[in-house]
Chains A and B, each alone.
Chain A
């Protein structure tokens, strides 16, 4: 009996320590935006909303969120469209060299990371005149996300029965009609998952825009956030707290949406 009680006490102590470890770093983000004159130390907020005016006054804060949105949505559209087409063809048609291609894609997506490829990517962007080009960055980000996206979507399409398409085919539908009427509606959850995954990825990405966008008017929120707390002088904590919160909220909302709608089954895919 005492052993049981000790076990309970040990369990809840451990849980308390874990909760503290994960909560304390996050407290600042919850408290500081609503505290007058925030400092590094977490204090009980007085629930002011005045801090949010700092964002409106800052010339790059709100535009950077828009830039993040442009990059994220642009990349997600490109990735979903291209990955869906490729995954469908690879799932349904016995193309020569298909297995080797898939293996290569899986390998590529795990070994060619931003870190390993930053030198040539920077070079490539210089050569192709893609420095400070949001489109260029979208293409580069898409290239990096596509292999994993194709792989995940192909898995999804492989698990969708072929009989739907065959049925439409026997009724006389053309290949493109089948894709439009049957395949796209059937794999919509998969497409949505990939879109959310791509948006989350680009939204949080720091390295690539940091390397390739030097024009502060084009930089996304990740880079502006970093600049705000590293540039010389006293960091503007009022701005950092509210901006950090605004920048974080969409990711949390997206996570809640996905986990509610599809159950959270990203298999670690949400990052990278």
Chain B
């Protein structure tokens, strides 16, 4: 056996310090450089995302206003703002409207519509599928300012397209049924996400399972119940949590109805804007924001739990 030449004083013992002399990640970046890589992003996130979120907690405890003495020297008022919020019928009204909006447009509207389209299109290819999916996605990607106006034009009481189509003079959905209007609008606007998610989920249902159900004589509905739903249960939950979160935080209804008429569409997102930035009661607005943050937190933690359990 040939022996390699080597210096006799070669170390035999474990040498921790030397082993750490250079870094063993793929590019040899090392922790110091890696830290420098992460730092700019973290700094921006800290200043413009985390700090505001913490500050909103603090503001909620003050009597901060945009102008006047309370603007110069805000005082800590403890939980007064929260007490004010829970005893304010306008807050509860907004909360109730938000529940209607989220349940109606996200949980029912987008999920049912999105799933229906995905189910109808599951085995299809070609121009019909492309047309349907293209239109649904178009409604989703156009800027909110544009689609809001398109719906204003559609629903206008003096000669909107819907009125002309239905031959109903004086038909003014935005005034007579404002909540229904924004629910239908948001269903139209957001169905694409659910459609794509369920489309992907349905694609993952093994065809052999569906075939064996069909061979056993299961009807369309029985196939859905016994084969499809068990497979996509996780996707349904993911979908529900995400679109609920998004709809809950959606400011687009403001562009359609500005919260009106008479506050009938003043969901929490719009309520905060009106109270804090138009009404200039930042402290009270911050208290409502805190409530929104907490609700978001609960939904997000559920969502992340779900993601983890899937892994």
Q: Give me the interface of A with B, judged by CB distance under 8 Å.
A: 11, 14-15, 18-19, 21-29, 32, 39-42, 78, 82-83, 85-86, 88-90, 92-95, 103, 105-108, 110-124, 139-140, 142-144, 146-147, 150, 162, 165-166, 168-169, 174-175, 178-179, 183, 200, 203-204, 206-207, 211, 221-223, 225-226, 229-230, 240, 244, 247-248, 251-252, 255, 264, 268, 270-272
Contact = CB atoms under 8 A, between A and B. Distances in A.
Given A42-B161, A119-B272, A272-B246, A206 B145 contact: yes
B33 A40 contact: no
B154 A222 contact: no
Majority SS at the chain A contact face = helix
B150 to A, nearest CB: 5
A142 B44 CA distance: 8
Given A40-B158, A107-B301, 19 more contacts: A22-B138, A86-B42, A88-B37, A89-B34, A92-B29, A107-B297, A108-B49, A115-B292, A116-B56, A120-B53, A124-B55, A139-B47, A143-B45, A169-B28, A200-B141, A207-B251, A226-B255, A244-B149, A271-B193
A106 B49 contact: no
A84 to B, nearest CB: 9
B202 interface: no
B308 to A, nearest CB: 9
Interface of B: 23, 25-31, 33-35, 37-38, 40-42, 44-45, 47-53, 55-56, 59, 64, 116-117, 120, 128, 131-132, 135-154, 156, 158-165, 188, 193, 196-197, 242, 245-246, 249-252, 255, 258, 268-269, 272-273, 276-277, 282, 285-286, 289, 292-293, 296-297, 299-301, 303-304
B150 A28 contact: yes
B201 to A, nearest CB: 12
B169 to A, nearest CB: 12
A117 B77 CA distance: 21
Given A40-B160, A41-B164, A88-B37, A22 B136 contact: yes
Given A11-B120, A25-B139, A120 B55 contact: yes
A-B complex: 6 closest residue pairs judged by Cβ atoms: A143-B48, A89-B37, A89-B34, A120-B52, A93-B34, A111-B296
A251 B142 contact: yes
A174 B300 CA distance: 41
Given A93-B30, A142-B44, A169-B27, A86 B37 contact: yes
A117 B30 CA distance: 36
A175 B27 contact: yes
B188 A93 contact: no
Contact of A115 (B143, B151, B272): B272
A72 to B, nearest CB: 11
Contacts of A174: 28
B59 A123 contact: yes
A121 B52 contact: yes
Of listed B34, B47, B276, residue having the most chain A CB within 10 A: B34
Nearest to B33: A175
A252 B141 contact: yes
B27 A92 contact: yes
Contacts of B145: 204, 206, 221-223, 225-226, 247
A222 B301 contact: no
B286 A119 contact: yes
Contacts of A264: 137, 196
A162 B52 contact: no
B154 A25 contact: yes
Contacts of A103: 304
A114 B250 CA distance: 9
Nearest to A103: B304
B297 A111 contact: yes
Contacts of B47: 139, 143
Contacts of B292: 115-116
A89 B23 CA distance: 13
Contacts of B272: 115, 118-119
A14 B120 contact: yes
Given A42-B161, A90-B38, A268-B197, A139 B44 contact: yes
Contact of B193 (A22, A143, A179, A268): A268
A85 B33 CA distance: 10
Nearest to A178: B27
A25 B27 contact: no
Nearest to B243: A268
Nearest to B285: A119
A254 B140 CA distance: 13
Given A86-B38, A175-B28, A110 B296 contact: yes
B143 A247 contact: yes
Nearest to B269: A115
Contacts of A119: 56, 59, 272, 276-277, 282, 285-286, 289
A106 B27 contact: no
Contact of B289 (A25, A118, A162, A223): A118
Nearest to B184: A21
Contact of B56 (A88, A120, A178): A120
Given A24-B161, A119-B289, A165-B27, A112 B49 contact: yes
B120 A112 contact: no
A248 B289 contact: no
A150 B44 CA distance: 12
